[in-house]
Amino acid sequence: MHATPMVSVVIPTRFRPGLVTRAVRGALAQTLSDIEVVVVVDGPDDATAAALAAVDDPRLRVITLERNGGAPHARNAGVDAARAPWTALLDDDDEWLPEKLATQFAAAQRVRARLPIVSCRMYNRTPRAEYVIPRRLPAAGEPVSEYLTVRRGLFHGDGFVQTSTLLAPTELFRRVPFTVGLRRQQELDWTLRAAALPGAEFVVADAPLVIWNQDEDRPRISLTEPWQAQFAWVRTIRHLFTPRAYAAFLMSVVTSMAAPTRSPHVLAALWREAHRHGRPGMIDYLTFLQLWVVPPTLRHRLRDAVLRRRGAAGRAAEPVDGAHGSRTARGDLAQPLVAGFRDVRP
């Protein structure tokens, strides 16, 4: 490895020694080998420290924070410690295919923008279904906010970005740190703010390069956040959405969180906000209605049936070789596949 590596891989973790060790070994096995792997242990954690100490590779660096500050804080600490001009993010329960960094780095070199944000497709594996996301790449000139939020189907979204898919200049991650305290939509928040900078461009590599293992039966602490917090957050960054994207996000993601209240007042508040500051499309009205009317279990079954049928004819049917592991989100693609999607499934 050169004195200064080409890419720093930042992995935040806490209390998951087996998962983070798997993630680290996958990062170290990249065909683009001129890297460093920076694991940020988010607070004292003897088991994780011991597991990582058993990984014999000089490219691994472990930083243990004095106290738990949450994933955004840990990511920011890892970026601050990064020595490479490029940084790639990896969550401790995700896996990379060996060509992930090489493929994305080549894509970044083809982008004329000074600050490329490179994502990629990924294999989404749950106990009930398996498919490749995102279903499509951004269209030429398509606003990033619309690609990530506007739906073309009733039971699934098309655009997508997730932490473990991101590669960007380290400079960009430092100029636009992750929002500490934000529990959901961390990637959407970061991507929209970063893409708004002069010289930034968001691109998606066509190949699926990440395995997103999801155990839908294991609860997530982040899923306990009330819908009001998400509603308040999106209003603070409304200027980063087009009116079309803002309405789509409110009428899918926020609505999916608020629907269990069955409150007419909540329904009316979201409806008013979407119309006052957004521009809903027909699919948004249909999504809004089915989220309030159709039981979640039935939505899940319909979603899986739709994706299996479409996957049988194309990319979504591609197999995941060697994928095994666990994930902690719950599956409801009645909302779009957007940044931070791991944390928005009800």
Q: Quick one: which of 334, 338, 335, 325 has its CA closest to 126? A: 325
Query: CA-to-CA distance for 184 and 196, rounded, in angstroms?
Result: 20
Residues 208 and 280 in one domain: no
The model's pLDDT over 282-293, given as tens digits with 9 standing for 90+, comes to 999 999 998 888
Q: Which domain covers residue 251, as residue numbers?
A: 225-325
The two tokens of residue 263 are 């409150």
Q: Which two tokens stand for residue 113?
A: 């923008």
Report angle CA 79, 162, 86 to the nearest 5 degrees: 35
54-99, pLDDT tens digit by residue? 999 999 999 999 999 999 999 999 999 999 999 999 999 999 999 9
Domain boundary among 193, 213, 233: 213
Decide if pLDDT at 116 tops 60.
yes
Domain membership of residue 61 (yes or no) is: yes
The per-residue pLDDT for 342 is: 32
At residue 304, the pLDDT reads 63
Using alpha carbons, select from 255, 253, 260 the residue that is nearest to residue 341.
253
| 168 found inside a domain | yes
**Same domain membership, residue 209 and residue 62:** yes
Any residues with CB less than 8 A from the CB of 205 and at least 6 apart, and which? 103, 104, 107, 118, 119, 120, 121
The closest of 195, 127, 130, 128 to 161, measured between CA atoms, is 195
Residues 72 and 160 both lie in one domain: yes
Residue 336 lies in a domain: no
Give residue-wise pLDDT tens across range 294-321. 776 666 666 666 555 555 554 433 333 3
Same-domain status, 277 and 203: no
Per the structure, the count of domains in the chain is 2
More confident residue, 290 or 156: 290
Q: Are 252 and 151 within 8 A, CB to CB?
A: yes
Specify if 251 maps to a domain.
yes
Please, where are the H alpha helices in the chain? 17-28, 46-53, 71-81, 100-110, 144-149, 170-175, 186-195, 227-236, 243-249, 255-258, 264-277, 282-293, 296-311
Residues 303 and 183 in one domain: no
CATH for 65: 3.90.550.10
The answer on 230 and 313 residing in a single domain is yes
Domain membership flag for residue 339: no
More confident residue, 290 or 5: 5
| 158 band by pLDDT with thresholds 50, 70 and 90 | confident
In a domain, 273, yes or no: yes
Domain boundary among the residues 213, 242, 261 is at: 213
Do 71 and 181 belong together in one domain? Answer: yes
Question: Are residues 160 and 17 part of one domain?
Answer: yes
Question: Is a pLDDT exceeding 70 seen at residue 324?
Answer: no
Q: Is residue 345 part of a domain?
A: no
pLDDT of residue 225: 62
Question: What integer pLDDT is reported at residue 2 of this predicted model?
Answer: 53
